[in-house]
Amino acid sequence: MGIGLTDDHRELGEVVRALLERREARAAARAMLEAAEDSLPSFWPEIAELGWLGLHIHAEYGGSGYGLAELVVVVEEFGRAVAPGPFVPTVVASATVAACGTAAQRERLLPGLIDGSVTAGVGPAGDLEITADGRARGDAGVVLGAPTADLLLLGAGPDVLVVERTADGVTVSAPPNLDPTRRSGHVTLSEVRPLAVLPGARDTATAIARTLFAAEAVGGASDCVTDAVEYAKTRTQFGRTIATFQAVKHHCADMFVAAESAVATVWDAARAADDARSKAAAETQAVARSKAAARTPEAAQFQLIAAATAALAFPAYVRDAELNIQIHGGIGFTWEHDAHLHLRRALALRALFGGDAPAAQVYALTAAGTVRRNSLDLPAEAEVLRTGIRSDTERIAALDESDRHRELIATGYLMPHWPKPWGRSASAVEQLVIDEEMALAGVKRPDYSITGWVILTLIQHGTDDQIDRYVEKALLREEVWCQLFSEPEAGSDAAAVKTRAIRVDGGWRVTGQKVWTSGAHVASRGLATVRTDPDAPKHAGITAMIIDMRAEGVLVRPLRTLLGTSEFNEVFFQDVFVPDEDVVGTPNAGWRVARATLGNERVSIGGGSAAGSFAEDMLMPMAREHAHRLAGAEVRIGQFLADEHAVRLLELRRAVRSIEGAGPGPEGNITKLKQAQHWSEQTAIMSAITGPELALAEGQSAVVGMMTLGARAMSIAGGTSEITRNQIAERILGMPRDPLIT
């Protein structure tokens, strides 16, 4: 879907993509496969003229004055095209100099990097030292772009060196490359006088490099998804397109989820970089800018989220490139096909900027107390709304609990996204302001869970009489509702309804069975789907009805789960009478009611994933005390924490889409799938850290054991992960349904 969410960012991406297609950047990359050496691509002067090399640099040095938030949108498109040339290493170098250099260094180095007359290579690793007289020596390791770059950006302990490639004492060896479309070289220094030394800049430079090369990686990964899906739609095997095969759909869905997870973290890493830059710029002039940037909380947050980005983006690119070839089959393994261009680029990026180090840093920074919280820049209208909302919430906060609850209902603040009079028909912006002010005032709104979404469906599709009879009682928590959709043979196929209703005088007689009904044992009423026309097509002939759970003929039998508890139930109906006034919507049109979505979508930036509080409150304390029980603990936990950020940021991007009026994105389906995987991995880590004590159901080990057992439900409840993958493939990626299913 792309990094850009605003109209301006999306338009920028489209412009870049169009130019790279027009200038045949992909063909230029292919031409480099067997070229003798690197050379500047033909479009280099044009991108310099357009100002893309200085998009993120202040105007006083010849740049456009934007930030990394804009630059990553451009870099993403270069990654999508597998564009050759030094664009990305050059902007990494200029961004590092701009963030960490002195005024004199910026004045000297930035103009050439911006106008395209100077290119750069980037070396993330190496073992360099600076002698007492200011000379550099040692092995700089593998440097991306080194064979032809004018300047080399190299790490030396905590510092960063800017070295001229042609300076005395610089040796660059350029053997054959895994990725000939943009070559790397091995660099050694022997008593080299650096062009510039950026003290203490290595952490910032690493974060910038990770962010920008990750932006390139997500562009490449996204292109792999598109390529695989489009090929699968046309490739025919066994009499049908392979896009109808569930195995292929699941590959494509997993590719898409990996790419979008990385997109979310790149997006936030760029935002964090700009936050850190703004904070550093605001520091007193008495402190050197590089030191100011290094010590701010914003800088630590940038390093954290950049490390998380690297931990996700580079493996995602490699895996998506591999699966793209897999889906293409033999043709994808040929030299003539472009799929291997992505795999070569992905493997090189992972080798240079990925590995275990990013995940280990995520763990280290988190363990040290660095936290990246959600933040949004709300439009000006938010402040206009805030004054009245703050006054209301402060008044409500002063009431006792019972009066507060009734006042929340009366004012619509209880469910602000609901239509009036029960809610406030609040826009996305108003909902977020309400959330902020409620939190500040200490007002907690109750979670209605299933009752909430069933009652909203009733408000949207029910009669005035039904709304009068049921809504207020539910909001006052006098009645709890359940959702009677699932049936024994239906599983995730909610339309496979066999519970039947027969027309009788004044209503219907319902007979059948529902299962996996959460809360049925405590519910007063339920919203059920029943088949009222057995001769109609599968999704027709269904009617939605309100069932009195205490009516004659209703039997609720709790199901004991593997945890030993009973949260859901079997429900049996034997000639249960439902009056006509309790039919919701039109008879035989109940599938529309069942599929009803939240008309005024609930928008919240929340605090992260459902697992978030456990990771912060339980996993990390356990890890600090017993990490030695888990081999490779820092890397595995760091990878988990990186994914935790991705889940959080997918929800944040969903909120931004609502604010921007950009329409729904893919985040809801993605987070449904990721939450199941995420919870399972967290409990697996906690089990390993617990060690042998897990076998004893006492104390903390009992909690971990129950969480680990319960994790199995996450990939089943609300639709299995397999069905979610089908939905991602069919509804988001546009892949066809299995034609064998009628």
Active site (catalytic) residues: 601
First to last CA, the chain: 31
Which residue, among 418, 256, 377, has the nearest Cα to 656 in the 3D structure? Answer: 377
Task: Give the residue carrying structure tokens 């939605």.
Answer: 544
> What is the helix, strand, coil percentage profile of the chain, to 5?
55, 15, 30
List the structure tokens of 92.
């990494």
Which residue, among 572, 576, 569, has the nearest Cα to 513 in the 3D structure? Answer: 572
Helix axes 87-100, 68-80, angle to 10 degrees: 160
Residue 700: partners with Cβ closer than 8 Å, 6 or more residues away: 622, 690
Query: What count of other Cβ atoms lies within 10 Å of the Cβ of residue 578?
Result: 23
Task: Give the CA dihedral 261, 263, 264, 265, nearest 10 degrees.
Answer: 90
3-state secondary structure 167-203: CCCEEEECCCCCCCCCCEEEEEEEEECCCEEECCCHH
Q: Which helix (H) or strand (E) holds 502?
A: strand 500-504
> What would the DSSP string read from start to end of 664-692?
--SHHHHHHHHHHHHHHHHHHHHHHHHGG
Q: Cα separation of 195 and 167, whole Å? A: 9
List the structure tokens of 55.
């998009």
List the structure tokens of 444.
């907690």
List the structure tokens of 326.
């897999």
Q: Which pairs from 13-17 meet CB under 8 Å and 24+ separation?
A: 13/73, 13/74, 13/76, 13/77, 16/52, 16/73, 16/74, 16/77, 16/78, 17/77, 17/80, 17/81
Q: Cα separation of 600 and 453, whole Å? A: 12
List the structure tokens of 208.
């910038």
Task: Give the residue carrying structure tokens 């030396």.
Answer: 156
> What's phi and psi for 531, nearest 5 deg?
-90, 120
List the structure tokens of 46.
């044009």
Which residue, among 245, 356, 270, has the nearest Cα to 66 in the 3D structure? Answer: 270
Residue 629: partners with Cβ closer than 8 Å, 6 or more residues away: 688, 689, 690, 691
Query: What count of other Cβ atoms lies within 10 Å of the Cβ of residue 285?
Result: 7
Residue 340: partners with Cβ closer than 8 Å, 6 or more residues away: 325, 332, 333
Task: Count helices and strands (H / E) in the chain.
Answer: 24, 18
Q: Cα separation of 599 and 613, whole Å? A: 29
Query: What count of other Cβ atoms lies within 10 Å of the Cβ of residue 717?
Result: 13
> What would the DSSP string read from start to end of 279-294?
HHHHS-TTS-HHHHHH
Exposure on the CB side of residue 277, measured as CA atoms within 13 A = 24
Do the beta carbons of residue 355 and residue 307 sit within 8 Å? no
